[in-house]
Structure 1
Amino acid sequence: MSVRRYLSTRDQAPAVSLDEAIAAGLAPDGGLYVPERLPRVDLSAFDPDGDLAATAATLLGPFFEDGVLVQALPAICAEAFAFDAPLRPLARPDASVLELFHGPTAAFKDFGARFLAACLRRLRTTDAPPLTILVATSGDTGAAVGAAFHRQPGVRVAILYPDGRVSPRQAHQLGSFGDNVHALRVAGSFDDCQRMVKAALNDTALQREMPLSSANSISLGRLLPQMGYYAHAALGWWRRHGAPLDFIIPTGNLGNVLACLWARGMGLPIGDIRLACNANRTLPEFFAGADYRPRDAIATLANAMDVGAPSNFERLRWTFDGDDDALRRTLRATSVDDATIRAALLRHARDHGEVVCPHTATALAVLDQAPRRDGRAWAVVATAHPAKFESVLEPLLGQPVPMPPALASMLDRPEHSAPMPADDSAFGQWLRALR
Structure 2
Amino acid sequence: MELYNLKKNEQRVTFAQAVKLGLGDNQGLFFPSHIPTLGNIDELLAKDFVSRSVDILDAFLGDELGSDTVESMVRSAFNFPLAVEKVKDQTYALELTHGPTLAFKDFGARFLAQCLNHLCKDEKATILTATSGDTGAAVAHAFYGLDNINVAVLYPKGKISVLQEKLFCTLGKNIHTYAVTGRFDDCQQLVKDAFDDLELKEAISLNSANSINIARLLAQICYYFEAVAKVPASERKNLVVSVPSGNFGDLTAGMLAKALGLPIKRFIAATNLNDTVPRYLETGEWAPTPTVATRSNAMDVSAPNNWPRIEELLKTQFWDKSLITGVKVDEEQTVAGLKALYEEDYLCEPHGAIAAFALDNELKADETGIFLCTAHPSKFQESVEEILNIHVMLPKALADVADKEILSLDIDANFAQLRGHLMAI
Contact conserved, 1:238 with 1:245, CA < 8 A, in 2?
no
Offset from partner CA, 1:161-211 (integer Å, 9 cap, x none): 001111111111131211100110000111111111111112111122110
Q: Does 1:347 align with 2:340?
A: yes
State the alpha-carbon separation in 2 of the partners of residues 259 and 102 from structure 1: 19
Instruction: Provide structure 1 residue ranges, at least 5 long, that are not aligned to the other structure.
Output: none
Q: Does 1:132 align with 2:126?
A: yes
State the alpha-carbon separation in 2 of the partners of residues 48 and 316 from structure 1: 25
State the alpha-carbon separation in 2 of the partners of residues 284 and 21 from structure 1: 30
Alignment of 1:2-401 (within 5 A): 4-11=1-8, 14-44=11-41, 46-47=43-44, 49-68=46-65, 70-90=67-87, 92-126=88-122, 128=123, 130-237=124-231, 239=233, 241=235, 243-321=237-315, 327-349=320-342, 351-374=343-366, 376-401=367-392
SS at match of 1:197: helix
Q: CA deviation at 1:47?
A: 4.6
The total of aligned residue pairs comes to: 425
State the alpha-carbon separation in 2 of the partners of residues 410 and 51 from structure 1: 33
Q: CA deviation at 1:154?
A: 0.3
* Paired-residue identity, %: 34
Offset from partner CA, 1:119-151 (integer Å, 9 cap, x none): 11111132x2x2000110000000000000001
Q: CA deviation at 1:46?
A: 4.6
Offset from partner CA, 1:3-22 (integer Å, 9 cap, x none): x3110111255201111111
Give the direction of change, closer, same or farther, for the CA distance of 1:284–1:341 in structure 2 (3 Å limit): same
Q: CA RMSD in A?
A: 1.9
SS at match of 2:18: helix
Q: CA deviation at 1:329?
A: 1.8
Instruction: Provide structure 2 residue ranges, at least 5 long, that are not aligned to the other structure.
Output: none
Q: CA deviation at 1:48?
A: 5.2
Q: CA deviation at 1:317?
A: 1.5
Greater shift, 362-371 or 183-192, is seen at 362-371
State the alpha-carbon separation in 2 of the partners of residues 156 and 262 from structure 1: 30
Give the direction of change, closer, same or farther, for the CA distance of 1:176–1:210 in structure 2 (3 Å limit): same
State the alpha-carbon separation in 1 of the partners of residues 174 and 181 from structure 2: 23
> What is the TM-score with the length of structure 2 in the denominator?
0.95
Greater shift, 334-343 or 231-240, is seen at 231-240
Contact conserved, 1:159 with 1:182, CA < 8 A, in 2?
yes
What one-letter code is carried by the residue in structure 2 that aligns with 1:344? G
Q: CA deviation at 1:348?
A: 2.4
> What is the TM-score with the length of structure 1 in the denominator?
0.93
Q: CA deviation at 1:49?
A: 4.8
State the alpha-carbon separation in 1 of the partners of residues 233 and 360 from structure 2: 26
Contact conserved, 1:248 with 1:274, CA < 8 A, in 2?
yes
What one-letter code is carried by the residue in structure 2 that aligns with 1:356? C
Give the direction of change, closer, same or farther, for the CA distance of 1:236–1:339 in structure 2 (3 Å limit): closer
